[in-house]
Amino acid sequence: MNTAKPKQVYFFGTCLVDLFYPEAGLAGIRLIQREGVDVIFPQGQSCCGQPAWNSGYRNEARDVAAAQLALFTKEIPVVVPSASCAGMMKEHYPALFSGTPLESTAIALSKRVVELTAFLVDVLDIRVEDLGDPQKVAIHSSCSALREIQVGDKIETLVSKLSRVDKVEQAYKRECCGFGGTFSVKQPDISGAMVADKTASIRETGADILVSQDCGCLMNIAGAFDRQGNGPRCMHIAELLWERTHADD
């Protein structure tokens, strides 16, 4: 990855953030802007195509992905606040467009995609002043962050930068939360058993807050906590960082 600080970046918000976690997206944008980097948010963007790709609907995924390719043409990084979407664009776009007229465009884009936590740590090397109350924070790194694009350590680094936060570790930390996109619908009982175990292990840490760099995991874990009642607050890492490090505006 090119670690020189760019003047300008694209922000690809992802479909889940757009509709369910927009504050996380906005926090990501503000964190980048605060470091003096311009952010472009192309209004025509929607989804990377991952849901269809993982469900075996490659043509439909390609059509949606192709619409995104046309929007991120400048030679600047594309920052994505989700490791699984970043993984889709980095790791699978080349295969998805292999043998099509868009192949070289897709490969070029895939090289410019940077997951948000990796961008904040490796490129911006952000410094933060923690203004928040002391709190216990548990981290759930998504499988894509850990195993697909291997940026699982970045969220750890970011949380460690918060001086008034006590980082707690749950058992089976690296294990999948059970989301898996359409897996949670196709195999609801297995997925339900996995998220039940995940929430139980997080509860045992006494965490006030659970953070992740992936909104798919968050939706799954937060939904389960909400159903069970009295769970920790679940939020995207960008939101936690922004909330604890900016003076009220």
Partner 1 sequence: MQTTDAGFDIRIRDALGNERVRGNFRRAMDGLMQRRLDLFPDAEAMESLRQHGMRIKASALSHLPELLEELEAKLIANGIRVHWAETPLEANQIVLDIMQSHGATSMIKGKSMVSEEMGLNHFLEQHGIDVLESDLGEFILQLAGEPPSHIVAPAIHKDRYQIAELFREKFPDIPYSEDIDELTQSARAILRDRFETAEVGLSGVNFAVAETGTLCLVENEGNGRMSTTVPPVHIAVTGIEKVVEKLEQIPPLLTLLTRSATGQPVTTYFNMISSPRKPGEKDGPEEVHLVLLDNGRSGIYSDPELLATLRCIRCGACMNHCPVYTRIGGHAYGTVYPGPIGIIFEPQKGGLDKYGALTTASSLCGACGEVCPVRIPIPSLINRLRYEANHSNGVTPGSGSKHKNSEALLWKAWSLLYRNPLLYRMMTKAATRLRMLAPGKAGPWTRYRTAPKPAARSLHDLARTHGVDNE
Quote the least distance from Cβ 207 to partner 1, whole Å: 19
Question: To which H or E segment does residue 115 belong?
Answer: strand 113-115
Of 66 and 126, the one with the shorter C-beta distance to partner 1 is 66
Of 165 and 239, the one with the shorter C-beta distance to partner 1 is 239
Interface segment toward partner 1; rule CB under 8 A; list 107-115, 128-136, 220-228, 234-242: 220-228
Distance, CA of 180 to CA of 184 (rounded, Å): 6
Q: Which residue has the tokens 């840490």?
A: 205
Cα of first residue to Cα of last residue in the chain, in angstroms, is 34
Contact by Cβ (8 Å): 94, 103: yes
Residue of the chain from 100, 160, 164, 227 that contacts partner 1 (CB under 8 A): 227
Which residues inside 52-111 make contact with partner 1, applying CB under 8 A? 52-61, 63-64, 66-67
Which residues inside 1-60 make contact with partner 1, applying CB under 8 A? 11, 13, 15, 17-23, 25-26, 29, 38-47, 49, 51-60
Quote the least distance from Cβ 163 to partner 1, whole Å: 28
Distance, CA of 7 to CA of 9 (rounded, Å): 7
Say how many CA atoms lie within 13 Å of 183 toward its Cβ.
18
Interface segment toward partner 1; rule CB under 8 A; list 125-133, 155-163, 177-185, 200-208: 177-185
CA distances (Å), 224 to each of 165, 190, 227, in order? 24, 14, 5
Of 132 and 223, the one with the shorter C-beta distance to partner 1 is 223
Quote the least distance from Cβ 160 to partner 1, whole Å: 21
Quote the least distance from Cβ 54 to partner 1, whole Å: 6
Amino acid identity, residue 35?
E
Distance, CA of 195 to CA of 162 (rounded, Å): 27
Site string for partner 1, 110-149 (x = CB under 8 A): ---------------------------------xx-xxx-
Q: Say which residues have a Cβ less than 8 Å from residue 63's Cβ, sequence separation at least 6.
A: none
Contact by Cβ (8 Å): 114, 79: yes
Q: Is residue 235 a contact point for partner 1 (CB under 8 A)?
A: no
Distance, CA of 209 to CA of 78 (rounded, Å): 28
Of 165 and 216, the one with the shorter C-beta distance to partner 1 is 216
Binding residue count for partner 1, defined by CB under 8 A? 71
